[in-house]
Structure 1
Amino acid sequence: MLQNRVFRSKTGFVVWVPIALCCGIAVLAWYTDNLVLFPVLIIGFGLLLTLWLLNTSYSITADGLLKIRCFVLRIDIPIHVITKINKSKSITSAAALSSDRLEVWYNRYDSVIISPKAKDIFIAALKEVNPAIKVNL
């Protein structure tokens, strides 16, 4: 019997640069204008954004679904309709927190870009459910 498995997103500079910028702007505002509220708001926004971003995950459920959760994005893909997985270096907006990405193709023309930490284990788990998935890494 297949169990639910959760894979966290790999994180890269894509996430940390905006957070560092928020902190840098807050520190700069603190020392130049002596404003207290503005830096606190920026740091608070950066921390909330970080917590929200780091909650990105990809679940393989016992009923054969790939559930992608990122920001407000919620996608459920039946694993039996996944046709192929390719390596991707695309910088387009995606449910991926790293530039080391996979593009998952499903149905006829649909795809989603993700970045699981343990790519090999993630792909093997998908292939357990659907051995017909073609993998091009």
Structure 2
Amino acid sequence: MKFKSDTDILFDVFIFGPVLILLIPLSEIIKNIDDKSAILTLVIILAVISFLLWARFGTYYVIKESQLLYRCGPIRGSIDIQSVHSLTKNKTLWLGTKPALARKGIILKYNKYDDIYISPKNKDQFIAELLKRNNNIQVTES
């Protein structure tokens, strides 16, 4: 089952702001495309824009049998659902692994000391799917 990430205006500003700022010099760079440094600059700007848009539109979570898979652009990983022991709903984690695009998401605690912050659009359905696969997960709401 696939869950898209919720989005937040704060994260959209941090993504689309730099994209818009980087688009401004593109017309001047394209005019000077014969210059080798202009080509390098163009490649770098397009790479940064691509990375930001990939993270914005390529963030989602998949619950597959006993695994939780997360993707945020090039950041990818999986968590064994049986290793999840607790989760906190509607809380924000500012440090650590955070493949998310919104505040007030879910903090998953797994293994002994590991945690990850995610922000599925439909939190209740996401939690229900996790509990189907591991009913020992303690759920707290912040």
**TM-score normalised over the length of structure 2:** 0.76
Gaps of 5+ in 2: 31-37
Encode CA deviations 1:43-78: one digit per residue, 9 max, x unaligned. Answer: 67425521343211111112x111111232222111
- Work out the CA distance in 1 between the residues paired with 2:2 and 2:124: 14
- Cα deviation 1:10-52 (Å, max 9, x = unaligned): 111213333223313533x47xxx7143797646742552134
The equivalent position to 1:16 in structure 2, one of 13, 16, 24, is: 13
Where do residues 35-54 of structure 1 align in structure 2 (5 Å cutoff)?
A: 35-37=28-30, 42=45, 45-54=48-57
What does residue 69 of structure 2 align with? 67
Residue 68 of structure 1 aligns to a residue whose secondary structure is strand
Aligned to 1:124: 128
Question: What TM-score, normalized by structure 1, do the two folds share?
Answer: 0.78
Task: Decide whether the 8 Å contact of 1:22 with 1:43 is kept in 2.
Answer: no
- Residue identity in the other structure for 1:74: R
Q: Which residue of the partner structure matches residue 112 of structure 1?
A: 116
Q: Does structure 2 conserve the Cα–Cα contact (< 8 Å) formed by 1:26 and 1:40?
A: no
CA contact (8 A) 2:5 2:120 kept: yes
Cα distance in 2 for residues equivalent to 1:11 and 1:45: 20
Distance in 2 between residues matched to 1:66 and 1:9, nearest whole Å: 14
Q: Give the percent of matched residue pairs that are identical in Structure 1 and Structure 2.
A: 27
Aligned length: 128
In structure 1, list runs of 5 or more residues that go unmatched: none
Structural RMSD (CA): 2.4
Q: Distance in 1 between matches of 2:22 and 2:71?
A: 29
